[in-house]
Copies of this chain bind each other. A is one copy, B any other.
Amino acid sequence: MISKESVIDDLNAVRSQSPLVHNISNYVVMNTTANALLAVGASPVMAHAVDEVEDMVKIASSLVINIGTLSRTWVEAMIKASKTAVERNIPVVFDPVGAGATSYRTVTSLQIIKECRPGVIRGNASEIMALVMEKGHTKGVESIVSPESAIAAAASLNRDTGAVIVISGPVDYIIDEQSVIEVRNGSPMMRKVTGLGCTATALIGAFMAVNKNFLMASAHAMTVMGIAGELAAKKSRGPGTMQMHFLDELYKLSGKEIASYYNAE
C-alpha cells in the first residue's frame, strides 16, 4: 500500500526515467502543465493533429486526455490517440473538465470513457457525479456533493469502466474496486490558480508511466502535487506567487519533505 517510501520511490523513478508524456489538453493550461511535467522530471509533448497523434503516442510512455477546451477535431484526435495507446498498453489518464456543465462535455466524456478505456479518470466531485448521473445510477443536485456521495459515484464509475477514479478536493480520494485512499495534502490557495486540477491529471500521467499499479501511481502523484502545493502556499502572498512557487517546490521536492508532510491512508 501507499507509504512515504512508495511516494519517494515513484518520484525518483519519474526523475530518473523522465518519461515522455503525450498531452492532448486544453488551451488554458498547456503551458502550465508542460511546466509542471518538466518540474517533476518528466518530458512533456503536446500534439493534437489527427495526422500525427497515433505516431506521437507510440513513442510516449503515457497519454493525458483533457477536454477543457474541447471541439470536434480535438475529440477525434483524443479518441484516435487513446485507442492506439490502449492497444499498446500505454497508460491513459482522462480529465473530464466541466462534465455536467454542458451536455456536450458530459456526452463526449462518456464517449471517450467507453471507446478509449482510460486507466485513470480524475475530476472534481461534481464532474465525477455528472458522469454517473448521466448513466442513470444517481439522481441529485450536483452542486451539493458530499464526500460520501462522490465516493459512491466513483465506486459506481469504477465498476462500470474498470478505471481508477480520482476525486480531487480538500481531501483527494483515489478509488478502485478494493480501496479508497485518502490524500490530505494541498492548500486552499491552489484553487485560486487556474489549471491545477489539470496539472494533477498530467502528474498522474507521469506517475502511470513508471508504475503500472494505477491506484498507487495516482495516489503518489496526488501526494506529490499536494505537498508541493502546501509548501508553495506557505511562501506565497497570493495566486501569482503561488503559481511560481508551486513549480519551484515540485522541482525541488525532497524525500525529507515528503516524509515530513506525508498524510495519506
Residues on A facing B (Cβ under 8 Å):
26-32, 34-35, 38-39, 44-52, 55-56, 59, 68-73, 98, 101-105, 191-195, 236-241, 243-252
Given contacts A46-B69, A69-B48, A71-B73, contact A56 B102 (CB under 8 A): yes
Please list 25 pairs of residues, one from A and one from B, whose beta carbons are closer than 8 Å in the complex, sorted by A's number. Answer: A27-B27, A28-B30, A28-B46, A34-B194, A35-B193, A35-B194, A38-B191, A38-B239, A39-B240, A44-B194, A45-B98, A46-B68, A47-B98, A48-B69, A49-B104, A50-B71, A52-B70, A52-B104, A52-B105, A56-B102, A192-B251, A238-B247, A240-B248, A240-B251, A244-B244
Contact in complex: A194, B31 (CB < 8 Å): yes
Distance to closest chain B CB from A78 (angstroms) = 13
Across-interface contacts of A102 in B (CB, < 8 A): 47, 52, 55-56
Question: Lowest 8 A-B CB distances belong to which pairs?
Answer: A238-B248, A240-B247, A52-B104, A240-B244, A238-B251, A34-B194, A55-B102, A49-B71
Contact in complex: B248, A239 (CB < 8 Å): yes
Distance to closest chain B CB from A7 (angstroms) = 19
Contact in complex: A45, B104 (CB < 8 Å): no
A235–B82 Cα distance when bound, in Å, is: 41
A71–B69 Cα distance when bound, in Å, is: 16
Name the CB-closest residue of B to A26.
Answer: B46
A191–B45 Cα distance when bound, in Å, is: 14
Given contacts A27-B30, A31-B31, A103-B55, contact A194 B38 (CB under 8 A): yes
- Of B38, B45, B68, the contact of A192 (CB 8 Å cutoff): B38
A44–B26 Cα distance when bound, in Å, is: 14
Contact in complex: A39, B192 (CB < 8 Å): yes
Distance to closest chain B CB from A82 (angstroms) = 17
Distance to closest chain B CB from A84 (angstroms) = 12
Name the CB-closest residue of B to A235.
Answer: B237
Beyond A38-B239, A39-B239, A55-B103: 8 further Cβ-contacts under 8 Å?
A31-B32, A35-B193, A38-B191, A51-B71, A52-B105, A56-B101, A238-B250, A240-B244
Across-interface contacts of A44 in B (CB, < 8 A): 194
